[in-house]
Chain A
């Protein structure tokens, strides 16, 4: 695997190495326990009754027959949850409204999408629970539905929420509509910029909703005790979030709920919200028994948050030398049944890779009768990037310019001010473009029949709240405790940073993920924050522990703590003038801890700022079977500014996984709705993610431009890699066939149709 590692060579002992991950053995032997693996004696099985309609008023629900069935211990509906105020709370990179969450976990006035929960039961067996569902009578008044964003924005569209007045509308909205919000970002004077441009390219694009496709369906186990305490096991990206949401939804205090995160079989942003947990908790409270709930794959597709689809209009104006002088992007995005699409980040990221003087960006957040969207790696950004990076490719062709050179000419640098107002600190956009330009892949000739596409992407990455603790055991080995579910190898990265900081062997450091009652608050695993922000908390907790270790050594030596240094895993006197003492190891200090002040621990809690943004540039060679529209990806390279690669294998894994998900998004993945507004492909057979045999090995280039705001230069790396692939694939298709695709996915039927439509024109041109 090709690799750029200019900045850390020889600098560190542990950072940048590739040891086995602490959770690896359990995962390959099957010992690791995921959401559905947890059970308790006497547990009941909970099942959800879901709306068969895309849009319907719930006139009444009769649960009496279900409750009367032998073996049924509890039945719940929306009436079992207090209504919630109009209150926005963060869930990672997205915002949610408590009033909407309670309606999403259990429909109240209306069912708003097919699969929307309307009731739930707990029974002694799955079979009885299923039978009970069939005994619940729901009286629906079916309403006209709307699935498509453009349709939903029309004035005569069926309205989902009577209270919804467009926020940010100009002039202010006076009538309810499906447009929840209008946003705008401006820099310079776009109009004047376009007037000055020598070349203007304008194009409209569409994308479809796609699912994160995590292999593990949602699952939870809840056990409510008579004293009001509830324990929950859940497969989640944020157990503190589960606790927080559920406390609100059930009217409890956070201290009454203890959530343990299980191992997690993928999340990608989709497990930062709650679905089953509040239902299982309420069912457990009502029945007095533990309640286990799992989703079937169909439920996951129909009722858990996919990433939105959207319509994007892009206009770029440039001078003949390739300098971009004006840019405009208008994004209309699906929010699902409740407001809150990632249209904000889609707008903010659209032109963030480039230094452009005149920019206008507008976004619309649009509700329709689809499941509420959730985060998916760099929420929103792949959608605007697909449109912007495709348009740039057209510009490069128009100017007869190399697509990397065009991007280099306009690349954002330290000091570049973005359209959304932030001025970049040290960033690696230029270095990442150069890494692709100088790669063996880009320098090699394009094989006959193939087309080569490149595209770039930007993501903010975040910091936020993290807590960590470090404990020295009696024998001198170390436990590092944090509170973020490990979805990408973070345990290994945290242990590596702790080992580096302490100067001890990686294998002497055991990282564990504590439940909500055993460590301070941690924000969700999301926003590519864990290795960065929780990593910083871990480093600080280790430093706190080292400070204490120095105090203990000073006590033993009867010198001033200031005169002790920590080096190579040992306490040492700062110099000869302090006195001569044999260095004390962790084990030595641990052995004497009882006599020097008791247990030796370190703690840290932070609100972490200073996340370093990341840039990615991808390059793909592919060919298209012109008769069938099938795409064969021949070679793929992903380069990214990764800050410092703490554990390079897991960083490469992030780049590879993101690229593969992006390729799937580009080629085959889509939510397909029928005329009744029901999802037609709620399974992996007809929702086509790539399989291993579809793809070449994804090559990676790690560009290390350290983040100056982190002790080891860490930037988030998990999200950037899903942003460039869609446009990279589209650009390669255009260069291979001469046909520019503007609608996703570029599936064989769709591509074949576009090729057929272009054929007479091509022949006429020849």
Chain B
């Protein structure tokens, strides 16, 4: 077995330096709930592990003019305890808070969830619906990437050698906005999404003024489904609009038949979850609370 170096960075700059020096054999260690499992199974064998949990801006949540910035390595449990964040982005937070289990959430981060680049990552469809911007730092400076463009395929991101994700920025919320995330898993926890749908809505009266839809686990990357949003915008979330948006989600699917679900099933469920998520988001705007992630 080859040796592994462990580096603990105190600043983003330092982390970038270690990653650059590792020449593609470096891995950022956030919560480690993907990385350590992958190392154990032999799927990844890093030369250098760069721990970023001691970098303050990577493990804290800040708010500026109504826009939240989440440190990439902030544990999901910490996000869930942030009342204001939870109130503004209930969909993003419920997505983060159903990763694994209570124990896993003590470590697992949204940044790790994103960078692991699984098409079934739970937080990502909600982040896509939210219009999240990924803040990246690298040897040549900083850049911003819309979250839906961040992953390029299963296990692949648009990060270049030496680049790391520092934080995730959620835009300022207009009034009467909310979001929701639903996933389908055969069990109630400790499972991987067969389909995941995030919906973010802004209402004007009883009409949808703005909408974004993120769809996970049905294609090589999480999708932004513009056609579904289009079907919702301007509607009163009546059956016809919901059916059209559900059909758009089903049409956007490019899934595989595998042990986790058939193409037919995934395509159908994408539509089912779209409808349910949209209704929950609207309920939230109307002050109706929703808990429980399982669409039963």
Contacts and interface: CB of A to CB of B under 8 A. Distances in A.
A756 B268 CA distance: 11
Contacts of B190: 685, 691
A688 B186 contact: yes
Interface in B186-221: 186-192, 194
B44 interface: no
A643 to B, nearest CB: 35
B295 interface: yes
A667 B259 CA distance: 15
Contacts of A753: 262, 264-265
B181 to A, nearest CB: 16
Interface string A692-706: 011000000000000
Nearest to B262: A749
A628 B194 CA distance: 11
Interface in A282-314: none
B189 A630 contact: no
A595 interface: no
B265 A681 contact: no
A688 B191 contact: yes
A127 B1 contact: yes
B188 A691 contact: yes
Contacts of A748: 184, 186, 194, 261, 265
A286 to B, nearest CB: 25
Contacts of B260: 686
A149 to B, nearest CB: 20
A585 interface: no
Contact of B184 (A628, A680, A686, A690): A628
Nearest to A629: B265
B160 interface: no
A629 B272 CA distance: 11
Nearest to A693: B188
B187 A691 contact: yes
B186 A625 contact: no
A418 to B, nearest CB: 38
Interface residues of B, number: 23
A8 interface: no
A672 interface: yes
A95 interface: no
B263 to A, nearest CB: 10
Contacts of B194: 748-749
A747 interface: yes
A668 interface: yes
A632 interface: yes
A690 B261 CA distance: 18
A752 B261 CA distance: 11
Interface residues of A, number: 27
Nearest to B189: A693
Contacts of B295: 625, 627-628, 630
Interface in B89-104: none
Interface in A744-764: 747-749, 752-753, 756
A252 B288 CA distance: 73
Contacts of B189: 691, 693
A753 B194 CA distance: 15
A694 B186 CA distance: 10
B269 interface: yes
A333 B68 CA distance: 59
Nearest to A125: B1
B272 A628 contact: yes
B43 interface: no
A624 to B, nearest CB: 9
A680 B187 contact: no
B191 A628 contact: no
B188 A747 contact: no
A752 B188 contact: no
A753 B191 CA distance: 21
B10 interface: no
B296 A632 contact: yes
A623 interface: yes
Contact of B265 (A632, A667, A752): A752
Interface string A415-437: 00000000000000000000000
B294 interface: yes
A623 B294 CA distance: 13
Contacts of B296: 623, 625, 628, 630, 632
Given A625-B295, A625-B296, A752-B265, A747 B259 contact: no
A428 B184 CA distance: 42
8 contacts: A625-B295, A628-B184, A628-B295, A630-B184, A632-B296, A668-B186, A694-B188, A748-B261
Given A628-B272, A668-B187, A694-B187, 10 more contacts: A127-B1, A627-B295, A628-B269, A630-B296, A680-B259, A685-B191, A686-B192, A747-B186, A749-B194, A752-B268
